[in-house]
Chain A
Amino acid sequence: MGLIYDKEKCTGCMLCPKVCNFGAIEKDGDKVKFDLDKCVLCGSCEEICPEDAIGIERKTVDKEKIAEYKDVWVWCETAEGKLRGVAFELVTKARELADKLGENVIAVLIGHEVEHLAEFLIHQGADRVLLVDDKIFADYTTDAYTIAMVTLIAPRKPSIVLYGATNNGRDLAPRVAARMALGLTADCTGLDIDDERQLVQTRPAFGGNIMAEILCPYTRPQMATVRPNVFKPSDRDTSCTGDIEKVEVKIGANQVRTRVLEHVKEVVEGMKSVEEADIVVCSGRGIKDPSNLTLPQELADLLNAAVGGSRPIVDAGWLPPTQQVGQSGRTISPSLYFALGISGAIQHCSGMSSSEIIIAINKDPEAPIFEIADFGIVGDIFEVVPAIIEEIKKLQSDR
């Protein structure tokens, strides 16, 4: 444990004092010196040093040290000035974990002009919001967000940090984990606290064929990315109170080494996101022709659902890539999932097997999709789906 400074290698370039957010590095003749009382081992200097003159050893934390780590944190991702749904789900889950531990829930809000969102997180159950607001965070970049996270984590010592397993969450979390030499559990679908106050992280692996329970016994914080839509957000309570702590994180423009030239949205007008919808109607090769996609669309419209597709449908260009469900597409867990003319290949199922209710309609009674379906109908989708539409219309007009 500790900081290792190799004075021989140091060329005195003075990059490290500039990036230290804790004022722990000073010029010392033609070299630098470290104030170890201020240093929190966040790793910014190690990262910037072009000569590998700074190393940080952080391997294991002993039991007493572990007890110093408290509170359950959630990185609350924003997109276009709004919080992503998974932020609310995770704050709710964090509340439950923190209550078991007798600790606080801290929401981390990083972005530009996002202060107004803090209140939603408090109403969702956060005790405190750590707010980092600056122009440099307007676009998500790995470098800026990693620096912000380690700058927050290192001195405050949370016991748990959760990230939504979105594309950005799965880009950011491993970077933070590697910088701080921490364990990280990927794409969890279950989280709990055991008798030893450890975070038990349950996740699918091998394309959903097996489940694994993962622990991080020696290092803190324990970190996990968590699959969106698995945990349900609680109702927001506007009487909840909490405080907002603004934290300044200074980042030089040259520390951000990727530049976002353009955001391209592929979301087709009027096409709902399969990741965010509560109900998804997914079609496979059984749909036969793109013109037949009006049928699942009609069912989806009735249920306010999103339409999705298996890979062959998307590869054929019948639906945009954003709508593909499965291993090389989106991983979703809606409350209701329809598989229409989908065989149920493992690569498809790994993207939807954590859905709450799975409905399968397939004319092949042996199709593997029936093994994971809660309700299966062996039949022709072109006969069964119109009949379902009729029944739902009937039900809706009766209400």
Chain B
Amino acid sequence: MKIIVPVKQVPEVAEVKVNEETGTLIRDGVPSILNPFDEYAVEEAIKLRDHYGGEVVVMTMGPPQAKEALWKALAMGGDRAIHLTDRIFAGADTWATAYTLARQIKKMEYDLVICGKQAIDGDTAQVGPEIAELLGIPQICYVRHLEIDEDGKHVIAHRETDDGYDVIKAKMPVLLTATKGLNEPRLPNIMGIMKAKKKPLEEIDAATLGVPEDDLGLKGSPTTVRKVFPPERKSGGIKLQDVDAKEAARQLVEFLAKKGAI
């Protein structure tokens, strides 16, 4: 079974702040990690490969340092990696990201593409379904349980819904997005980490990909981020300390009644 896993390097979100004067993101010094939802995707791919044979290719589109995310995925057990890296790719929205990744995937053979449910920085959950569409294959999003049918040709997946889950069957090739519950991602061991940097890692730029610049990065993006700003902080929030439980409860209920909340 040939499996492709697109992964993204993300900042550890809790530490990203907005520079209130310039309205830009302060990313310097913020540690980067492999997107947590992509760990589920990598883990599932490795498990399938170990069971059915085949190959796990991890790929990312990102700046040079995004290689670290690939190394992590290789250390977990991926077989080889593809790094789409070029300044022209920068500033891509989800459409341009998906388009770039899909153009590369189209050149490859695959039975499954497994993405994470969403990246914890952009938070859109759009790249997976957009890749599926651009590849012209079906998608099953928010998968938390996966089986391969006895015929070896279909997947049967539990797709999270708003009130539980749907059991969905589709013929491969298919794109899945992985969410919590699918598996327990392994921690790479020392052997894995050492081997990772020796595994094949191919770098591809825009020219090699063979796509006109107009379709890539900022230029190829239909959306633009006009500005970023910090969320409205609740100013003047009330905080009761050293007030006895009864009195605190009385004040709270009074507050809520006044607001018409209860």
Q: How far is the CA of A139 from the CA of B169 in the complex (A)?
A: 13
Q: How far is the CA of A186 from the CA of B118 in the complex (A)?
A: 11
Contact partners of A6 in chain B: CB under 8 A:
none
Interface string of A186-212 (1 = CB under 8 A from B): 110000000000001000111111111
At the interface, yes or no: B238 with Cβ under 8 Å from chain A? yes
Contact partners of A358 in chain B: CB under 8 A:
234
Q: How far is the CB of A49 from chain B (nearest CB, A)?
A: 8
Q: How far is the CA of A273 from the CA of B163 in the complex (A)?
A: 8
At the interface, yes or no: B53 with Cβ under 8 Å from chain A? no
At the interface, yes or no: A181 with Cβ under 8 Å from chain B? yes
Q: How far is the CB of B112 from chain A (nearest CB, A)?
A: 14
Decide: B253 and A373 in contact? CB cutoff 8 A: no
Interface size class of B (residues with CB under 8 A): 35 or more
Q: Of A139, A211, A264, A380, which one neighbours B230 at CB under 8 angstroms?
A: A211
Q: How far is the CB of A197 from chain B (nearest CB, A)?
A: 15
Decide: B256 and A215 in contact? CB cutoff 8 A: no
Tally the A-B contacts, defined by beta carbons under 8 Å. Answer: 274
At the interface, yes or no: B242 with Cβ under 8 Å from chain A? yes
Q: Of B95, B165, B215, B242, which one neighbours A184 at CB under 8 angstroms?
A: B95
Decide: B226 and A167 in contact? CB cutoff 8 A: no
Q: Of A211, A279, A322, A376, which one neighbours B231 at CB under 8 angstroms?
A: A211
Given contacts A142-B139, A373-B234, contact A214 B241 (CB under 8 A): no
**Residues in B115-138 with C-beta less than 8 Å from chain A:** 120-130, 132-134, 136-138
Q: How far is the CB of A262 from chain B (nearest CB, A)?
A: 4
At the interface, yes or no: A89 with Cβ under 8 Å from chain B? no
Contact partners of A166 in chain B: CB under 8 A:
162
At the interface, yes or no: A177 with Cβ under 8 Å from chain B? yes
At the interface, yes or no: B243 with Cβ under 8 Å from chain A? yes
Given contacts A174-B130, A207-B14, A346-B14, contact A380 B167 (CB under 8 A): no
Decide: A183 and B129 in contact? CB cutoff 8 A: no
Q: Of B95, B142, B231, which one neighbours A210 at CB under 8 angstroms?
A: B231
At the interface, yes or no: B141 with Cβ under 8 Å from chain A? yes
Contact partners of B252 in chain A: CB under 8 A:
359, 375, 377, 388, 391
At the interface, yes or no: B191 with Cβ under 8 Å from chain A? no
At the interface, yes or no: B108 with Cβ under 8 Å from chain A? no
At the interface, yes or no: A71 with Cβ under 8 Å from chain B? no
Decide: A263 and B166 in contact? CB cutoff 8 A: yes
At the interface, yes or no: B107 with Cβ under 8 Å from chain A? no
Given contacts A383-B245, A387-B246, contact A261 B156 (CB under 8 A): yes
Q: Of A174, A259, A267, A371, which one neighbours B133 at CB under 8 angstroms?
A: A174
Decide: B123 and A379 in contact? CB cutoff 8 A: no
At the interface, yes or no: A157 with Cβ under 8 Å from chain B? no
Decide: B169 and A328 in contact? CB cutoff 8 A: no
Interface string of A303-346 (1 = CB under 8 A from B): 10000000000000000011000011000000110000000011
The stretch of B1-9, B43-51, B217-225 in contact with A is B217-225
Given contacts A171-B141, A183-B221, A267-B164, contact A210 B249 (CB under 8 A): no
Given contacts A346-B14, A378-B242, contact A170 B167 (CB under 8 A): no
Contact partners of A210 in chain B: CB under 8 A:
16-18, 25, 228-231
Q: How far is the CB of A110 from chain B (nearest CB, A)?
A: 17
Q: How far is the CB of A211 from chain B (nearest CB, A)?
A: 5
At the interface, yes or no: A372 with Cβ under 8 Å from chain B? yes
Interface string of B192-229 (1 = CB under 8 A from A): 00000000000000000000001100000111111111
Given contacts A205-B122, A387-B248, contact A374 B238 (CB under 8 A): yes
At the interface, yes or no: B94 with Cβ under 8 Å from chain A? yes
Which residues of B come within 8 Å of A, CB atoms?
11, 13-14, 16-18, 25, 37, 93-95, 98, 120-130, 132-134, 136-142, 156, 158-171, 174, 179-181, 214-215, 221-231, 233-234, 237-243, 245-246, 248-250, 252-253, 255-257, 259, 261-262
A-B contact pairs, 22 of them (CB 8 A): A142-B129, A167-B160, A174-B127, A174-B133, A178-B130, A178-B132, A181-B222, A183-B222, A184-B94, A184-B223, A185-B223, A207-B123, A211-B231, A212-B227, A212-B229, A214-B225, A216-B224, A257-B137, A263-B164, A328-B180, A336-B262, A359-B252
Ranked 5 nearest A-B pairs via Cβ: A183-B222, A387-B249, A178-B133, A186-B124, A266-B164
Extra pairs beyond A183-B95, A218-B222 (8, CB < 8 Å): A174-B125, A184-B223, A186-B123, A206-B123, A208-B231, A214-B225, A371-B234, A395-B262
